[in-house]
Structure 1
Amino acid sequence: MINFNGEILDSDLQLTVSNRSFLYGDGVFETLKIVDNRILFFEDHYFRLLASMRIIRMQIPMSFTFEYLESQVLALVNQQNIQNSARVRLTVFRNDGGFYSPTDNSVSFVIQANELTQKVYSIADKSFEVDLYKDFVVTKQLLSTLKTNNKIIQITASIFAQENQLDSCLLINEEKNVIEATNGNLFMLMNNQLFTPPISEGCLNGIMRKQILKLAEALGNVEVIEKEISPFDLQKADELFVTNVIVGIQPITKYRKKEFKTTLSEELLAKLNQSIEV
């Protein structure tokens, strides 16, 4: 079941071979978490979506108000009876026509939803091992910070992780700085200082990244710094963790031969759950 341009359909959407998202990755998306029939951090998601559409020169429909898109997402999860806890993907793509140069900039949207097993954010009691992925780099540019439909680096890095019995990989930019993981933004604790790469490094402008920055600053016992992270820094870190809207915080327990604590991760996760009143 999906919501395509405001119409809820029982079956998956059948795209044409001329679909621009399929042909060229000509689209952007938001991954949303639903808890108790509300979209967490939806205002941040909404404004990031519109900003992304403007950056890639899509025509934003007059109907794309905050209230309209919120109602379309909730209509789908209620129709599927998964409004208590769900993962939603809202994809906007440019309509068919043209080759690299589109014939017009009008858009369509499709919303998909899947049930989640729990509402609260939690940390799985298991190891989470990562390593660097160096086959390809993420460039330091504005497009790298958007959630576009071109995620081939994250895909190949995820396959690399599977082939090497890793849980995820850390991505680097052209200056060989570590910018993020395949599944979210990266944070590093070292000597009571919490570091995360600035957006200018090419990392995703993450919604959960924004929440964690605010929560960490409110703790008062760590200094929060947006700064470049080198691969050498990782070996000296006290903690490493990854953030995204679906899992909240995922602690990294091992990078190469170094193992890490999860104390701050657990403290921030408790604060995150309190902030959303789950």
Structure 2
Amino acid sequence: MINFNGELVHEENIKLSIHNRGFKYGDGIFETIKIVNKKVVFWEDHYFRLMASMRMLRMKIPMEFTLEFLEQEILKTVAVQSEAASFRVRLNVYRKDGGLYTPKTNKIDYLIEVKENTYKTKEVYTVDVFKDFYNYSGLLSTIKTNNRMLNTLASIFAKENDLDNCVLINERKGVVEVANGNIFVLKGNIIKTPALTEGCIKGIARQKVIEIIAKNKEFTLEQTTISPFEIQKADEVFITNAIMGVQPITNYKKKKFTVDFSSKIAKSLKVLEVTSA
């Protein structure tokens, strides 16, 4: 079942109008959230990112949209699903129907969709650079809007070329992220991840991994500009998102990477997931 503005509705009974702004203009944002043992993982981080994104997009935040209210709505929707240890939730917020580019109102509707989380870390994971279009740097690129055409095209390119994922680059040819997550590059004892000014999503798992690395005095973390060439010279490369956690990259062009450090980070992140939920 789907949660539409607080009402649980069978999926086949959801009717969105032809004036839906998320459909017509991509005028919406979303959070992808992990549920483990019926508890919301990193919920406060997701909530405050959602509130910041709504303010940035000039959406009117309803008075009832408290941390506790939205968590209860998510768990209410999870409770009517089939039994599973882990779920993935998509919480979509979009402006109400009406208007052309200029909306009739800044009030919002919301929709909560829940599916079983079946992701398993892959032992072999191959990526390459997607060069057809750029992920333009800028503040708007750091939030999860409904406009995911670049990610869709990169994912199609990956499928057509027997890849697991693609690295997205910006107009300066700098690494931004992958089609569905953030990216980290390890060389020696220096770990780099693209700065938010490069246009990458302000990922929840990204921030947690940054916090984990910051506590390890053996390594130095840099949020900076990364060239695709640096990936090829790296010792290890891994990607992160809220659902997969940490996925090591094993193959990039002709280069093969080790996964020792990535595996340790993955274990540390799983510990945080359990303690946060």
Please confirm whether the aligned pair reaches a TM-score higher than 0.5, indicating the same fold: yes
Amino acid of the residue matched to residue 182 of structure 1? A
Give the superposition deviation at 1:277.
Answer: 3.1
- Check the 8 A contact 1:77/1:83 in 2, yes or no: no
Partners of 2:270 and 2:146 in 1: CA distance: 30
Once the two structures are TM-superposed, the CA of residue 83 in structure 1 deviates from its matched residue by 6.5
SS for the counterpart of 1:135 is coil
Look up the equivalent residue of 2:205 and give its one-letter code: M
Query: How far did residue 276 of structure 1 move?
Result: 2.7
d(CA) in 2 for partners of 1:190 and 1:131? 18
Is the aligned partner of 1:3 residue 2:20?
Answer: no
Q: Is the 8 A contact 1:74 1:83 kept in 2?
A: no
Shift of 1:82: 4.0
Structure 1 segments, 4+ long, off by >4 Å, are none
- Once the two structures are overlaid, the 10-residue window that deviates more, 13-22 or 268-277, is 268-277
Gaps of 5+ in 1: none
Query: Secondary structure in 1 aligned to 2:55?
Result: helix
Task: Summarize deviations over 1:92-122 as a string: whole Å, max 9, x none.
Answer: 010001011101111000000011248xxx6
Q: CA RMSD in A?
A: 1.3
1:124 matched residue in structure 2: 122
Which residue identity does 2:39 align to in structure 1? R
**Aligned residue number for residue 52 of structure 1:** 53
- Please give the alpha-carbon distance, in whole angstroms, between the structure 1 residues aligned to 2:240 and 2:104: 38
Contact kept, 8 Å, 1:82 with 1:114, in 2: the verdict is no
Structure-2 separation of matches of 1:108 and 1:277 = 31
The CA distance in 2 between the partners of 1:115 and 1:33, in whole Å, is 10
- Distance in 2 of aligned mates of 1:276 and 1:174: 35
* 1:272 alignment partner in structure 2: 269
* Displacement after TM superposition at 1:88 (Å): 0.4
**Counterpart Cα distance in 2 of 1:45 and 1:160:** 29
Identity of aligned residues (%): 47
**How far does residue 77 in structure 1 lie from its aligned partner after superposition?**
0.3
Residue 235 of structure 1 aligns to a residue in which SS? helix
- Does the 8 Å CA contact 1:34/1:83 hold for their aligned counterparts? no
1:160 aligns to 2:157 (yes or no): yes
Contact 2:87 2:114 in 1 (8 A): yes
Matched, 1:103 2:104: yes
Looking at structure 2, the residues matched to 24 and 91 of structure 1 have their Cα atoms a distance apart, in angstroms, of 14
Matching of residue 86 in structure 1 with residue 83 in structure 2? no
Which residue of the other structure, out of 184, 208, 211, is the alignment partner of 2:208? 211
**Unaligned 5+ runs, structure 2:** none
Q: TM-score when scaled to structure 2?
A: 0.96
Calculate the TM-score normalised by the size of structure 1: 0.96
Contact 1:169/1:182, CA 8 A, preserved across alignment: yes
